[in-house]
Every structure is written in structure tokens, then in C-alpha cells.
A and B are shown apart, each in its own frame.
Chain A
Amino acid sequence: MTLDPVILSRLQFVWVVAWHILLPAFTVGLASYIAFVEALHLATRRPIYLRVSNFWIRIFSVAFGMGVVSGIVMPFQFGTNWSRFSLATANVLSPLLAYEGLVAFFLESAFLGVLLFGRKLVPPWAHFVAALMVALGTLFSTFWILATNSWMQTPAGYSLVDGRFYPQDWLAIIFNPSFPYRLFHTVVGFYISTGFVVMSVGAWLIRDRRFAEEGRFMLSSTLWLLLVLVPVQMELGDLHGLNTREYQPAKLAAIEARWDTGTRVPLTLFAIPDQEHATNRFAIEVPLLGSLILTHDLNGEVKGLKDWPREDWPPVIVPFFAFRIMVGVGLLMLAIVVAANLMRRGGQLFARRGLLRALEWSAPLGFIAVLAGWTTTEVGRQPWTVYGLLRTADSVSPSLTGWNVLLSLLGYILAYLIIFPAGWVVMSRFVRRGPEAAPTVEPIESGRPQAPVREPPALSSGEGAA
């Protein structure tokens, strides 16, 4: 068996990004939630908001630190494994990625320290501003990363000279056709992922009884939020789908396992797509629904993969199932959120231990949906790195052999299997300790300052955490 450096490089990228994406999926939403709770505290000065905010800041610091450490790996992947992609796209994509780094570094150094260590050193409004700026910083990072990713999906604003892309119009590059849809769909997805975690922890705190008041606040606030966000996300997903149909019809055909172009097409609920024979086995279909959902018209036309040469087909089975997992999880989340909100009537929400337990178990749902959605869009982009213009097979570093990549991949697998469970253990410990009024241990994060540093009483301006 020969080892293929392209497949292995893709696997390596999948491995390091899949783990890394869990952290922004959590910290982007959590930063905003912390800012929200800080705002409540600023407005009402009720100490419960302070305890809840401090509790989540402690957990945020660990997740953020791990995000920084695992994030360093990412820019190097472009060089080590995808040097031909890097060379071809650098003129267009490098400033977007560099701006992400600059903005993140700027906000990190300027405001994270205040958020983590400045509680006693700055007035409440300044602490709220710091929380708001950190939340904005995570959103800016998301903005630049998704602008880059979207440009790979729907390139615009460039000229192509001798196999390299050159910028023609920065606004067109950044706000490329799929970017707004991807940005909102992803951010809302991150918010929902965080919402389910906060809700789950809130449910556990209620059952645990030590911090039931804080738990009720967390559960109640996130349930209202999710009641809005989950349906909004479905609408955004629908819009994103229409955008995909327009700009990446082959991806849509793969998602739907549609081989032949047709009008009044059915919706395939389940099937085993057989790429070799270009057909579906064991298909369960609903007539007409495919056209209705995908085109918002019963007579709408949906392209089939046979319209494209085979070498341009994405692998069908992965996006087909990943998409169904995402939608399935989304429907499950909707059911949970609606059911839990209905239970508010008559005060059953906080009293039913079975319900609380179910909410606890729903914590990973958002992450599953994020990973499934990411898999759908990235595998559906294949066989291209820049859609329709640069093939994945032509993007990899020419010097790499299969065993080179296998060796590094094994290294990353081993490292992440140690680091991420360890980080999980540390964060779980913070959760179990609960939102104590005076934490026995000061906030610490591997990220910025002071793993070991206590709040420095001897220093007048300890927010210099950075």
C-alpha cells in the first residue's frame, strides 16, 4: 500500500482543525455570554451576576488558553503541508489571516488581562467594557477566518496570473458571495453551542442544590436565548443552502446525493449513496419536498452530479451524512428548547429532575452540529481548495512523501489525545466547584498571565496581566 501525502495531509488538517474548532465554538459564545452577564451586573448590581460571570470567566480562561496553544499549529499547516496552495493564494488570503492574528493579539493583550484579573482593580463599567471588547475580539477573529474560508468556497475580487491569485478588489474578496451567510450561520452556531453548555451546567447546578439560584439564572437566560437562536439558525441555514445552490451547485448535489438533474425532485431522507454507480441504495424519499426545500418552488430544478465531469465530483457519502447529522441534531435541539420553555408554565422547569438530567446530557449537541456542518461544507468543497480553480491534489507541498505526513499526523494525534482530555478535566473541575462567591483559587489561564500568579496585591495595576 502506498501512502498518499494528499489524503494524509487532509487527515492531518482535519485532525488539528476539528479539535481546535471546538474551542472557538465555545469561547466565541461564552465571551458574549460573559459580556451579557456583566451588563446585567452593571445595570442591577446584583451579586448573583457577579458570581455567574466570575464562574464562566474561570472556565473561559482555560478554553481560551487551549485555543491559543492549538491555534499556533494552524498557520504552519499552510506552509508545511499546503505550500502550493499558500503560494497561489498568498496575495489574496494572507492579509485576511494576518489581520486575524493582529486583531486577536491586540485585543488579547489589551483587554483579556483586565477581564481575567482586573475585577478589583477597575470599576464595574470598565470590567464590562473589557468583557465586551474580548467578545468583539472573538467575533473579529471569526470574521477574518470565515472571510478566508468563504473566499476558498466562492472566490471573488481576484485576477489569476501564471497560476497565482492577485487582489483586484479587497471588498469583493472579503465580502465574497458565501461570506455573509457562512459568517452568520457559524456565529449563531457557536452561540447555540455555548448556550447548550451553559444550559446544561445550569441544570446540573440546580440538581446539585449548592448553587441552585445561579443554576436557575443560567438555565432560564439561555433557554430564552436559544428559543430565539435555534429557529433563527434554521432560517440562516436555509438561506445558506440557497446560496450554495447558486454558487456551489455540485456541493448541493452531493449533500442531497442527487445524481441526475431534475425538477420536482424528492427529498432523500436516508440512503446509502453509491458513488461508483451514481445511484442511491435503500433510499427513503419524500416526493416533491426536495425541490420545495432547496428551491422554494415545487417545480424548481436541482442539479445532479452527472452534469459535471467525474473528476470534479466531491465524495458524496460524507457531506450527505454529515448534513443529515447536522439537521437532525438541529431538530433535536429545537425540540429540547421548545419543550423546556413550555415547562416553564407551572414552574415545572426547575423541579423535574428527569428534565434537568436530559438538559445536562444535551451539552455536546451544539458541538456535534458544528463539526457536522463544518464537515459538510469542507468535504463538499472537494476536490478543490479554491473552488473550481485550484485542486486539492495540486495544493499539497510537492516535497512531501506519505510517510512524512503519517509521522507528523501520529505526533499530532498523540499530543491532542493527551492535551484535550487534560483540558477537559481541568474545566470540569472548575464546573464542579461551582460559582463560589470567593473562589479558593484565583483565575488562571494557560493563555495569558499567571497560571501561578495570584491577584497581585503588591501591584497597583495588575491588569497588566498581558
Chain B
Amino acid sequence: MKPAPRTYWHLAQLGRRPNDYDVGSSRLLFYPERGLSTGAAIRPWLRRYQIESPLQCRDWDAFRDPRETTYASYAQLQRTQEAFVDGVLDAADDRRLDPAWLARLGSILPVLRFPCHALQMVASYLGTLAPGGRVAIACAFHAADELRRVQRLAYRMRQLQHVDASFGVAARDHWETAPAWQPLRELIERLLVAYDLGEALIALHVAVLPRFDELFVVELAALARRNGDDALANLLHSLGEDCRWHRAYGGALVELLANKRPENAAAIAAWQGRWEPLAARAVAAAAALFEAAP
């Protein structure tokens, strides 16, 4: 007689005791293999952008988040990060900041809320479209990290408005009209409508995020530090931890997909060829905002 299985049916072949990540994230989606049992407007959408995407993978659950993030571990991790950031921001004495720095930062930080909100939307989109539960989960946490980034930018913006009431009040106008922002706005708007699953994934993780985060997290933090704005530098350092994980899970996913089929690698290269120049141009234009900084 076979010994009684000690785990759920789909984990019996794992060959080791499943951990909470295995148990809580494996084979959670039942519709990709069965199809939806009722028709709705979204059916042709899924066919076009998911089922018939040039990027194909038979087993999306072969993806494994390198951090093995579960809901419980995510809440705990980010609670600690947010407590750290609260401490940093609430202790800041912003009255001693250089007005020239505030003037420069006012044309950057408040505007960033808009593209970061769009990144939140794109990560959410990948989550809803991914044919594997594990990918969807990573995307959901990623989207939540972008929500975190938006809120922390807003919080800092308001803090600085208490020093200079005009700080960032024209942010939306800047975003929509300032020449240095327009290539980035065009990139972001086109990214929002890049609906193919593979294209959205490659455009976001390979073309946009590495460049965007390098400028607006790493370089902005260095600039803040040089200008005595340690609160912002430390905030960005904490947000940078999130970005590092986005690079890690995105990299693991792209690598998995590229190795699955030669056609995938070709499709990925084609999207890279299309999106990387756009992203490079957009980020270079935005970098001009930094150059005039003290």
C-alpha cells in the first residue's frame, strides 16, 4: 500500500516538504488550462493579448520568486520598512534645506507621482494577465510597492510644502507640458497601452524599470545627499530595496521565459529593440532636470 500523501495533490511530486511559499502560491489559477466557463467582453482580450502572445510558456508556475514572498512575509517586511521611513521622515528638519535645492526638487519629486502611478497600473496589468499564479502574486506585490512609492513621494511633497507652499503645486502641468518630461510621458503612455503580455513584461522589466529606477532612485538619492536632504536620500534608499527585488524577480522571469523556447528569445529581442531606445531617450531627457541642480 502506498503511504498516505502528506501534502496537497499537486505538490506530491515536489520531493521535499513544501514550505509556505509552495503551499500558498502553487497552481492557484484554474482558468488558463480550462478556459473561462462563461463568455464576457474580456474573452477576446485574453485571446489576443495572452493566449496568442508571441511569448509562450507551458508552465508559468515554473517561475519562482527568488524572495519567496508570501502575503505574511510581505506585510511583515514592508511594515518594518515603513516604520523605518516614518522615523526618517518624521525626524527631518526641512527648514534648513537650501531654497535652491527645493526649487529644483520641486520640478522633479512631485511630478514623479504620475509616472509611478502608471508603473503601478502596468504591474497590476501584468498581474491580471499572467497565466500563472506565482507571477501574478509577484506582480501584485510589485504594484503595491509602486503604490508605496507614490504615497511616500506625496508624503515628502507635503512635508516640503510646509516649508515652501508652492512646492510642486504645478506638478500635473509640468508632467503634461514641461519639455524635459515629455519623452518620459510619451514612453509611459505608450507603455500603458502595450497590452500584449510579453511586450508589456519586456518593456517594463527590461527597458523601462532599470533606467527609470537608476535615475529616480539611485541618482536622485545621491543628489539629495549632496544637497543635505538626508531624509529624501534615506527614503529613496528604502524604496530602492523594493526596486532591487523588482529587478530580481523580473530578471528571473525573463530568463525563464527566454530559455523556454527559441521563439521567446527572438520575441524578447524584438521588443527590446523597440523599447530600449525609447526608454533611453526618455530617461536621458528627464536627466536634464538634474543637471541644473546645485
A binds B: no
Q: Could you tell me which B residues sit within 8 Å of A by CB distance? A: none
Q: Could you tell me which A residues sit within 8 Å of B by CB distance? A: none
